Amino acid sequence: MGVKNRIASIDLLRGAVMLIMAIDHCRDHLLRGHPEPTDLTATTPLLFFTRWITHFCAPVFVFLSGISVWLAGTRRTERQLSTLLITRGLWLLAVEVVLISPGITLDPLLHVVVLQVIWAIGASMLLLGLMIRLRASRLVIGVVGAMIVFGHNVLDYTGAGAVGKTFVWNLLVASPGFTNDCIVTIFDNHSVLAAYALLPWTGMMLLGYAVGPVYGQEFDAARRRRLLMRAGLLLLGAFLVLRGFNLYGDPAPWSAQKTTVLTVLSFLNVTKYPCSVLYLFMTLGPALIVLGVTEGVRNRWMDAVAVYGHVPFFYYVIHWYVAALATIIVFYLQGYGSSQIVRPGDPFRFDPPGFGLSLAGVYGVWLAVVVAMYWPCRWWGAYKKRSQKWWVSYV
């Protein structure tokens, strides 16, 4: 959701997480054998941190979306903002199904629709739009967001009984990610995979909306930087204490391993599906610090990264297809044929046994993808800035 007066530090952070995010997507498509990066019995430190660094992407993106909603609301009435959120939310849900899922699975026939971060953002916008339509105050929205974020890990102790095994529960509350419990067949060979549980991410958007006024024009910049830094350090401190003593906030406690390195990995190996409190503290804390540190700081490298942050939705959609094109090229260069595009029982195309690259090769493709995206993003950002067409704000 764009704003007329760009906030450089937000664009920089958003651009950075967009670039990092593409590492994970290239790994998903191209890493040979698809080893699980967080399996401490089989991973390597480089593979683990290749995955771990991308943990920052979704929380930061969703939280900043909440701030952007508040900024958009400064130029609209409550009813106009509510209408915008509802229509934008529905648009994002349609995009997730029609455009993003084929980019993930490389299957234009949509045998599996994958609901990931765009679904979570779109549905969260719908809920936030309804709350604003019902005249919920910013304080109420913030309290609800905090209750969701800080409280949803109570389910680790109470459980959900039989309802916890249902698709609807996984879709809305506690999806464990890419597992059979999160798949429901719609008709014939067409299914929906709920990779992202909605409510934890909705909580993040509500919190972003609640803190949005710190970016108001009347808010003192020095005070804002101090607040962001202190809040970031507080979240990091809470993460270290709660994680260090395995007190609360993640269903997978850390433990001492056979080596110091593996013990560190165990400590950092928090739960994304569904996103735990400690996962959110670990990622949002540094993000707030970065926002505080980078405000008012500019150089050509930061400006280049911010290009991607100017047009996050455009980048997000297109980069899937650039990565998919790279995957198809590698597929044929490695000598595979069209008869091997589809593998029985595998919802992902162009993924025969033995296919893929080393981790170094994946990083090479990632670099090519993000460099190739720079000029389209710069062009679209310039066009979007000068265009008055209504539909441009939806891209």
Query: Residue 31 and residue 43: Cα distance in Å, rounded?
Result: 13
Residue 68 token pair: 């952007």
Q: What is the pLDDT of residues 138-152, one digit of tens each?
A: 999 999 999 999 998
Query: Residue 209 and residue 194: Cα distance in Å, rounded?
Result: 25
* pLDDT-wise least confident of 51-60, 169-178, 223-232, 338-347: 169-178
CA atoms within 13 A on the CB side of 387: 14
CA 48, 54, 60, 61 torsion-angle sign:
negative
Residues 6 or more apart whose Cβ sits within 8 Å of residue 104: 28, 114, 116, 320, 348
Q: What is the pLDDT of residues 171-191, one digit of tens each?
A: 898 887 777 778 888 888 889
Q: What is the pLDDT of residue 345?
A: 79
Q: In what order do the strands lie in the sheet with 183-187?
A: 112-115, 190-194, 183-187
Q: Is the pLDDT of residue 2 over 50?
A: no
Distance from the Cα of residue 159 to its chain's centroid: 26
Q: Name the residue ranges covered by the structural domains of the chain.
A: 8-394
Query: Residue 202 and residue 180: Cα distance in Å, rounded?
Result: 24
If we measure between CA atoms, which residue out of 370, 343, 325, 340 comes closest to residue 29?
325
Q: What is the pLDDT of residues 205-227, one digit of tens each?
A: 999 999 999 999 899 999 999 99
Question: How large is the average pLDDT for residues 68-93?
Answer: 95
Contact of 363 with 24, CB cutoff 8 Å: no
CA 85, 88, 90, 93 torsion-angle sign:
negative
Q: What is the pLDDT of residue 5?
A: 60
Residue 191 token pair: 């299914």
If we measure between CA atoms, which residue out of 282, 266, 207, 225 comes closest to residue 56?
282
Prediction pTM value: 0.94
* Helix locations, the chain, DSSP H: 8-30, 45-52, 57-73, 78-95, 101-105, 117-133, 138-151, 155-158, 167-169, 198-210, 221-244, 260-268, 277-294, 300-310, 312-333, 359-386
